[in-house]
Amino acid sequence: MVWVPLRPTRTDRRAPLRTPTHCGTTMSLEWLMGWSWSLDGLRDFIATGIQSFRDCDATALAAVACFLVLFVWYCYHVGREQPRAYATVNALMQSAEANGVQNGYVYCHSPECVRCTHHDGLNQKLYHNLQEYAKRYSWSGMGRIHKGIREQGRYLNSRPSIQKPEVFFLPDLPTTPYFSRDAQKHDVELLERNFQTILCEFETLYKAFSNCSLPQGWKMNSTPSGEWFTFYLVNQGMCVPRNCRRCPRTYRLLGSLRTCIGNNVFGNACISVLSPGTVIAEHYGPTNIRIRCHLGLKTPSNCELVVGGEPQCWAEGRCLLFDDSFLHTAFHEGAPEDGPRVVFMVDLWHPNVAAAERQALDFIFAPGR
């Protein structure tokens, strides 16, 4: 293939490119379109570029050098950055590991934690959080929360002993020890449809107990008698990394629940195991803004939950809803051969807490706030 010049002479073609004033600008689209490509044309193109660069003045060379240095610095800076993780389960797990999750349980390191610390300045702290929320969003719908924070001491001190939440009481909520299944119908039905999925993942986990006394991820709770183990997926509003990896389908199921509390310190999701002969001491939950849901996984006879003095029994594949701000206890009086009582526990919003109140409470009681 032979190239044919469109201009009269070779000298005429190249002369403009050697003038310092153009500094290589004549290597333009017009110049490129003036040639038919061949090996000789490519050679002339390279030679012309070199000559044009030589003819540039010192200012242009300095500018090019600066741009080159900036480009190299940018490449180095970008190369040092770690790639950003997507908002997946793994990302949440890594975040939780950095925030004090150990062996499947959240250990609070902050003396200001409203979930774990009781002090005279708690109400002031809560009111400050509410004011911050209202400035960002709105005071609309905050009347009941404002009332609760303002008179929290009176509410907690004057409550009858049958219901006495330890941290926060939201006034004017209907109070009853147990709730009907229709209180959170969608989530109850979803959990019950996935009963076998959750049970299979528990059985895989529970096999580890034959190898050691307390496998990784399980927490032993204090009881007057017997043994009570919990395996947290979400504890006090925080994902537990290793545990969620071991129960991926159950963890994904939590994301499908409409009323699961997952963004504040009152939200939990775990597998709870009572060995035969275990009694859980009577205690109160931290708040009345939630209802606790137990999905029965293994429910031998002689096991009972008592809330507000009213006993109830679990059933496999069925959900039991109750308000744990009432005085409550649980026990397993079965024989060793009956095996453990196992439930999947998840905290749901009280049905009478409005959407605006839920958003505000998530802000006020956010983990670490």
Closest among 363, 355, 313, 319 to 198, alpha carbons compared: 319
How many angstroms separate the CA atoms of 53 and 49, rounded?
A: 6
Cα dihedral: 292, 298, 299, 303 (round 10): -70
Alpha-helical (H) ranges within the chain are 10-14, 29-33, 39-55, 58-80, 89-97, 122-136, 143-150, 152-158, 185-193, 195-206, 241-246, 248-254, 355-364
How many angstroms separate the CA atoms of 230 and 289, rounded?
A: 22
Helix (H, G, I), strand (E, B) or coil at 126: helix
Pairing mode, strands 228-235 and 328-332: unpaired
Burial code (b: 16+ CB inside 10 Å, e: under 16) for 148-179 equals bbeebeebeeebeeebbbebbbbeebeebbbb
pLDDT per position as a tens digit, 234-274 = 999 999 989 999 999 999 999 999 999 999 999 999 999 99
Question: Can you tell me the mean pLDDT for 87-95?
Answer: 39
How many angstroms separate the CA atoms of 291 and 177, rounded?
A: 9
Burial class (CB in 10 A: 0-12, 13-18, 19+), 79: exposed
What global pTM score does this model have? Answer: 0.70
pLDDT for 100: 45
pLDDT for 360: 96
Q: For the domain bounded by 164-354, which CATH number is listed? A: 2.60.120.330
**The two structure tokens encoding residue 163:** 């219901």
Maximum separation of any 2 CA atoms in the chain, in Å = 108
Rg (CA), the chain: 34
Question: Can you tell me the mean pLDDT for 188-208?
Answer: 95
The residues spanned by each domain of the chain are: 164-354
3-state secondary structure 19-65: CCCCCCCCCCHHHHHCCCCCHHHHHHHHHHHHHHHHHCCHHHHHHHH
Pairing mode, strands 303-307 and 310-312: antiparallel
How many angstroms separate the CA atoms of 324 and 177, rounded?
A: 8
pLDDT classification of 231: cutoffs 50, 70, 90: very high
In the predicted structure, residue 3 carries a pLDDT above the cut 70: no
Q: Do 210 and 329 contact (CB within 8 A), yes or no?
A: no
Alpha-helical (H) ranges within 137-246 are 143-150, 152-158, 185-193, 195-206, 241-246
In the predicted structure, residue 57 carries a pLDDT above the cut 70: no
pLDDT for 219: 93
The pLDDT mean for the chain works out to: 80
